[in-house]
């Protein structure tokens, strides 16, 4: 894996970011048509929304035509959020369709390359999620003031993310890497970091995860199972979403400020 530009920064992370700006890795201005301040504000708002919702449905769609009714069903269940993964060729068109739903907090998942990150943003994704840490993807997203939540499962990867100023990370695959016990241990060392554990999260352990003070939200697939989507059973998806939202509300994790991702 290619790491960040190698250089010692005695003055800390801020000095490092200034160096990267000078090198052009994180351009200070972008010809996006969107004011820089507005993009930065939106990024903070997205993290705040994820913290408020507490659950991120992680979706694999074989047909882009299912994206709109799925997004509508989740929103009807009180969960206007969805992470559409790049595990199928339908992802770009699915993101574009879901983006038409008002107030949908829409992300792209399983983003492995800069090209996928570009496609996701062009199609309307408001945040990017990766299963692992890719310096190239992270640098691209930061240059665009686009929220990026890379996957980590070890302290080394957490520190790599912190070098880029990232404080909200995906813990994946959660249950395979020790789940709650690991998050408690990591939390003791990295108190400023919040996690979105994904992988093995179900209704049975959802509340236990959400009660952890270093968990921002949980990613899950149980309310968006492929068989329900393929069968067009969106009413059941709405029911499962509402059930999950009701359960999450009982977690009552200690209220803490939502960290800035940059």
CB-CB neighbours of 181 under 10 Å: 9
The Cα angle at residue 43 between residues 59 and 98, in degrees rounded to 5 = 30
pTM (2 decimals)?
0.83
- Rounded to whole angstroms, the Cα distance separating 262 from 254 reads 23
Q: Parallel, antiparallel, or unpaired: how do β-strands 151-152 and 55-59 relate?
A: unpaired
210: left (phi over 0), alpha (psi -120 to 50) or beta: alpha
pLDDT of residue 260: 72
> Nearest to residue 101, comparing CAs of 135, 121, 130, 73?
73
Q: Residue 62, SS3?
A: coil
- Rounded to whole angstroms, the Cα distance separating 110 from 168 reads 16
Instruction: Tell me the pLDDT of the chain (262 aa) as tens digits.
Output: 445 544 343 444 444 444 343 333 443 334 444 444 445 556 669 999 999 999 999 999 999 999 999 999 999 999 999 999 999 999 999 999 999 999 999 999 999 999 999 999 999 999 999 999 999 999 999 999 999 999 999 999 999 999 999 999 999 999 999 999 999 999 999 999 999 999 999 999 999 999 999 999 999 999 999 999 999 999 999 999 999 999 999 996 455 666 777 6
List, by residue number, the catalytic residues.
83, 170
- Rounded to whole angstroms, the Cα distance separating 24 from 198 reads 33
Query: What domains, with CATH codes, occur in the chain?
Result: 34-248 (3.20.20.70)
């Amino acid at each position: 894996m290619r790491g960040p530009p190698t250089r010692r920064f005695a003055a800390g992370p801020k000095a490092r970011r200034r160096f990267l700006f000078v090198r052009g890795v994180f351009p200070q201005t972008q010809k996006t048509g969107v004011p820089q301040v507005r993009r930065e504000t939106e990024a903070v708002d997205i993290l705040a929304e994820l913290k408020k919702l507490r659950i991120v449905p992680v979706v694999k769609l074989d047909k882009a035509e299912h994206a709109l009714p799925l997004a509508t069903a989740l929103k009807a269940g009180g969960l206007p959020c969805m992470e559409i993964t790049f595990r199928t060729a339908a992802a770009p068109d699915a993101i574009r369709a879901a983006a038409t739903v008002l107030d949908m907090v829409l992300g792209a998942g399983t983003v492995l390359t800069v090209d996928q990150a570009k496609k996701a943003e062009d199609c309307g994704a408001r945040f990017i999620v990766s299963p692992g840490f890719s310096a190239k993807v992270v640098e691209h997203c930061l240059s665009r003031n686009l929220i990026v939540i890379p996957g980590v499962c070890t302290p080394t990867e957490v520190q790599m993310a912190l070098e880029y100023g990232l404080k909200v990370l995906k813990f994946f695959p959660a249950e395979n890497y020790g789940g709650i016990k690991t998050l408690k241990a990591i939390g003791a060392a990295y108190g400023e970091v919040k996690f979105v554990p994904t992988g093995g999260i179900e209704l049975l352990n959802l509340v236990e995860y959400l009660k952890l003070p270093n968990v921002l939200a949980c990613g899950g697939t149980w309310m968006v199972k492929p068989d329900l989507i393929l069968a067009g059973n969106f009413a059941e998806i709405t029911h499962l979403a509402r059930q999950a939202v009701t359960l999450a509300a009982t977690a009552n994790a200690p209220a803490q400020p939502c960290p800035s991702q940059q």
